[in-house]
Amino acid sequence: MAEESRNAFDAIVVGAGFAGMYALHKLRGQGLRVAVLEAGTGVGGTWFWNRYPGARVDIESRDYGYSFDPELEREWRWSERYSAQPELLRYLNHVADRYDLRRDIRFETRVTAARFDERGARWNLTTERGESFSARFVVMATGCLSEPKEIVFPGADDFSGEVYRTFDYPEEGVDFTGKRVAVIGTGSSGIQTITAIAPECEHLTVFQRTPNYSVPANNRPLGTGEQREWDAERDAYRARAKAEPLAFWNDPPERSAFEVTPEERLQEFERRWEFGGFRVGGPFTDTGVDLAANKVLADYAADKIRSIVRDPAIADRLTPKTYPFGTKRLCVDTGYYEVYNRDNVTLVDLRATPIERITATGIETTEREYQVDAIVYALGFDAMTGTLAKLDIRGRGGLTLREKWADGPDTHLGLMIAGFPNLFTVTGPGSPSVLTNMVMSIEQHVEWIAEAIAWLDAHGRTTIEATPEAEAEWVAHVAEVAHQTLYPLADSWYMGANVEGKPRVFLPYVGGFPAYVEACNDAAAEGYRAFRVA
């Protein structure tokens, strides 16, 4: 068979993480000829790449697994309340085996370009190795946090020691015993890395530009009894979770912070802190939308930092002051602040003393040089749009996605883009994605996409794409609901503010999972009127 027909598919899925794996399973089950193109050597997406020490999910294991097959849920046993990266990767490999996914996944196949051929109504894809593929449908399952930020420090290439990035940390791990190590960046990846490696380094120097709020995970082993109880109530639990804005049960607040006495407020904060995780972030109905309510929560968190960190000057440096609580992604930790009570850990405040350059032997700030043997960069990602904009994706008239999104990512429902027919994005900008349980959002997207494809075929249609009008309306709605919250006040990756030159646009949809699902279901129920179907 010629390469042309061998590599011609009904649908090509890009990426073999949670989203791509389910898209393959779902579309293949619908009778389509599907291939998944994956840059890595294995399945797992985020959990394949991010193997840094301490990497662990921040949503409880009970929620962070597929729900599409109750049998899969019943047969898998998580060992901890919050799963660590190796266990998540084992789970995803188990899923790949259980549904025989690997036979349709091409590993080490990095897509570099996708062009829409208007006459043939097909997408032509090219890979880094120069292979060509074509398909009627393309499902971009490329993840929200998959394009790491560049290392921009002058002299970075001159460093003669070891260099690591949290994003593509060595699979075999690194032994830092007896070494002086620097970590730059204190987001979730930095915080988990710092907590994990501090005890083993001879000395650890943390370079912090903006402190993050971090709350305890209160992680613990899970008993089989507990998991059997979950099995019994599984259907009701999943239904309840999907009715929540975050698509997981987060003990939603019922009262305003000012409807209760200060003592009751403190009690509620403490109850949530003891429980751990994201529940700390939503104790009252108004902490996410009202600055005064937010401040009482921020003050409580600052007190907690002061109560843990013995040196008041370090505690102060670790306390966020430039944005409301929860408007940057909350970190969920296991002993993070305690790290700063160790004698072998130094915290450098880069706002006070910025990095001037990396030297052959260390990191030079405006104050002094820190000699280190290894640097771990935890600088974050060009989130939600970076991976897609980096690819050479061309739709109708040769328009590139990069050009189309120059002022911000326009999509309808985070699923489709006007001018890019039959190209679907899973958890794209404008979808709730990173503000929800990603796995539930992924399942909902994949199911919507599969249904749209089935509808097209059943109605003898060839292409579907968002209309510019529907797209403009959705983009305005996404911005409107974001601006009803405090989120836009932070220079976060949610706002695109962590990447120089990126438009300042709130990227995910904050209106909540149920409202979003309703919008998607309505779009399908009304015969895809908000889409151009041909």
Cα–Cα nearest to 412, from 401, 394, 428, 400? 428
Q: Nearer Cβ to ligand N01, position 90 or 209?
A: 209
Q: How far is the CB of 101 from ligand N01 (least distance, A)?
A: 23
Question: Should residue 17 be labelled a site residue for ligand N01 when binding is judged by CB under 6 A?
Answer: no
* Closest among 488, 481, 486 to 503, alpha carbons compared: 488
Q: Residue 351 CB, nearest distance to ligand N01 (Å)?
A: 8
Q: Mask 482-501, x = binds ligand N01 (CB under 6 A)?
A: -----------x----x---
Q: Which residue, chain included where needed, has tokens 């060009």?
A: 382
Residue 2 touching ligand N01 (CB under 6 A): no
CB 339 within 8 A of CB 195: yes
Nearer to ligand N01, 113 or 350 (CB): 350
Q: How far is the CB of 381 from ligand N01 (least distance, A)?
A: 6
- Decide if residue 329 touches ligand N01 (CB under 6 A): yes
Nearer to ligand N01 by Cβ, of 46 and 127: the residue is 46
How far does CA 342 lie from the centroid of its chain?
A: 31
End-to-end CA distance of the chain: 31
Binding mask 277-316 for ligand N01 (x = CB under 6 A): ----------------------------------------
Distance in Å, CB of 357 to ligand N01, minimum: 12
Which region, judged by CB under 6 A, interacts with ligand N01, from 4-12, 97-105, 110-118, 144-152?
144-152
210-239 residues near ligand N01, rule: CB under 6 A: 210
Give the x/- contact pattern for ligand N01 in 507-526, rule: CB under 6 A.
--------------------
Footprint on residues 365-394 left by ligand N01 (CB under 6 A): 378-381
| Chain mean position to CA 439 | 11
Q: Which is nearer to ligand N01, 190 or 216 (CB)?
A: 190
Angle at 86 between CA 80 and CA 89, to 5 degrees: 105
186 forms part of the interface with ligand N01 (CB under 6 A):
yes
Residue 116 C-beta: closest distance to ligand N01, Å: 31
Q: Which is nearer to ligand N01, 135 or 191 (CB)?
A: 191
Q: Does 21 bind ligand N01 (CB under 6 A)?
A: no
State which residue, 386 or 419, has the beta carbon closest to ligand N01: 386
Match 């949530």 to its residue by tokens: 272
Q: Per rule CB under 6 A, is residue 185 in the interface with ligand N01?
A: yes
Among 145, 241, 388, 470, binds ligand N01 (CB under 6 A): 145
- Count of residues touching ligand N01 (by CB under 6 A): 26
Position 209 contacts ligand N01 (CB under 6 A): yes
Question: Considering only 16-24, 187-195, 274-282, 366-374, which stretch makes contact with ligand N01 by CB under 6 A?
Answer: 187-195
Least separation in angstroms between CB 402 and ligand N01: 22
Q: Phi first, then psi: what are they for 343, rounded to 5°?
A: -70, -20
Angle of the 224-242 helix axis to the 513-525 helix axis, nearest 10: 60
Closest-CA residue to 331 (of 215, 251, 219): 215
- How many Å separate Cα 169 from the centre of its chain? 17
CB atoms within 10 A of CB 295: 14
- The smaller minimum CB distance to ligand N01, of residues 46 and 124, is found at 46
The residue nearest ligand N01 at its CB is: 187
**Quick one: which of 196, 157, 161, 203 has its CA closest to 180?**
203
Q: Which of 7, 188, 294, 422 binds ligand N01 (CB under 6 A)?
A: 188
Closer by beta carbon to ligand N01, 11 or else 309:
309
List 328's β-bridge partners, or say none: none
Q: How many CB atoms neighbour CB 47 within 10 A? A: 24
Question: How far is 396 from 399, CA to CA, in rounded Å?
Answer: 6
Report, in Å, the least distance between residue 497 CB and ligand N01.
8
Amino acid identity for residue 54 in this structure: G
Give the bridge partners for 11, in sequence order.
34, 137
- Of 173 and 178, CB closest to ligand N01: 173
Q: What are phi and psi of 126, to 5 degrees?
A: -125, 145
Nearer to ligand N01, 154 or 398 (CB): 154
69 to 98, contacts with ligand N01 by CB under 6 A? Answer: none
Nearer to ligand N01, 104 or 168 (CB): 168
Q: Is 317 in the site for ligand N01 (CB under 6 A)?
A: no
CA 224 to chain centre: 29
State which of positions 425-454 bind ligand N01 (CB under 6 A). Answer: 434
175-183, 185-193, 226-234, 406-414 -> range binding ligand N01 (CB under 6 A): 185-193
Question: Comparing C-alpha atoms, which of 364, 380, 379 is closest to residue 158?
Answer: 364
Q: Which of 164, 110, 180 is nearest to 362 (CA)?
A: 180
Binding track, positions 30-59, relative to ligand N01; x by CB under 6 A: --------------------------xxx-
**Residue 360 to residues 158, 204, 348, 353, 373, Cα–Cα distance (Å):** 5, 18, 19, 20, 10
Neighbours of 106 (CB within 10 A): 15
Applying CB under 6 A, which of residues 65, 190, 421, 488 lies at the interface with ligand N01?
190
Measuring CA to CA, which residue among 381, 321, 316, 375 is closest to residue 347?
316
Range list of β-strands (E), 229-360: 331-333, 345-349, 355-358
d(CA 412, CA 421) in angstroms, rounded, equals 12
Query: Residues 477, 511: contact at Cβ < 8 Å?
Result: yes
Q: Is 182 in the site for ligand N01 (CB under 6 A)?
A: no
Q: Report which residue type is found at 75.
A: E
Structure tokens at 274: 């003891």
- For ligand N01, the binding residues (CB under 6 A) are 56-58, 145, 149, 152, 184-190, 192, 209-210, 329, 332, 350, 378-381, 434, 493, 498
